[in-house]
Amino acid sequence: MDFRNYRGTVFFAIKDKDNFARGMNHMLAEVVAGGIFTGDNMISLSKNMGFLDDADFMQAVSRNVSSNVERSTIWRQAVVAWAAREGLRREGDFVECACYKGTTARIVCDYLDFGKLDKHYYLYDLFEHDPTMPHHAMSGHSQELYATTQARFSDLPNVTVTQGAVPAVLHSVAPEKIAFMHIDLNNADAEIGALDLLFDRMSPGAILVLDDFGWVYYHAQHKAETTWFAKRGYRVLELPTGQGLVIK
């Protein structure tokens, strides 16, 4: 029996991409029976990838994903979608620091039919970038991105997109109770600031996904967050996707 594959094409920080692709294809040709995943700096073999069978998730992804980078990060999106779904069983609202273009949050909204839920989704980002900022710039950052991202959620009255710097902005707009949280700020100080303000508001059993926790480029976050959680008696689970997972 042959199992299906998911072949994303995006790998980061590769010296010679053609050489890398040749080597990878050469290696994968030797795999028996499939179950191959490639993309987002992950190569995994002989896996079921059950998220590919979740029709609601796959529809939400195909409706909202438009680039090869976004296509290659489907396993990360599946982790976030699962954690958010678990949040439906917990008291409180959903939070994402930060949302950028809103792609992951929009996948979650479509997956869970969020507009029909008695929950609120709080999304934050700076949306613009200047060279003094400690996180790296992204190609979509611009003066228009805030409005574009707001427009992406304009059909959902229970989603609030706020422009501002985390953690400062959380003093003005933030839920009292949190059922699911996704932190993806690419910056250790900002992430620790968000944890200082919001982790205590998470309901028991609510899941926190730290997008950058396992990536070597964000080792400072790994170090700061490992220490922060150890002081509170938690250990972060590092996933092969590069995400970190904490159950409150």
Ligand X SMILES: C[S@@+](CC[C@H](N)C(=O)[O-])C[C@H]1O[C@@H](n2cnc3c(N)ncnc32)[C@H](O)[C@@H]1O
Which residues of this protein are in contact with ligand X, per CB under 6 A?
96, 98-100, 103-104, 124-126, 135, 138, 165-166, 184-187, 190
Specify the residue, 36 or 152, whose C-beta has the smaller distance to ligand X: 152
Specify the residue, 4 or 63, whose C-beta has the smaller distance to ligand X: 63
Q: Are 194 and 166 in contact (CB under 8 A)?
A: yes
Specify the residue, 40 or 125, whose C-beta has the smaller distance to ligand X: 125
Specify the residue, 99 or 161, whose C-beta has the smaller distance to ligand X: 99
Question: From the CB of 21, what's the least distance to ligand X, in Å?
Answer: 24
Would you put residue 39 in left (φ > 0), alpha (ψ -120 to 50) or beta?
Answer: left
H/E segment holding residue 72 = helix 68-72
Q: Are 45 and 31 in contact (CB under 8 A)?
A: yes
Question: From the CB of 154, what's the least distance to ligand X, in Å?
Answer: 18
- Rounded CA-CA distance 1/34 in Å is 9
Question: From the CB of 244, what's the least distance to ligand X, in Å?
Answer: 14
Question: From the CB of 203, what's the least distance to ligand X, in Å?
Answer: 21
Specify the residue, 6 or 218, whose C-beta has the smaller distance to ligand X: 218
Question: From the CB of 3, what's the least distance to ligand X, in Å?
Answer: 28
Query: What three-state secondary structure class fits 215?
Result: coil
DSSP labels, 93-129? EEEEE--TTSHHHHHHHHHHTGGGSS--EEEEE----
Six-digit token pair at 92? 């409180």
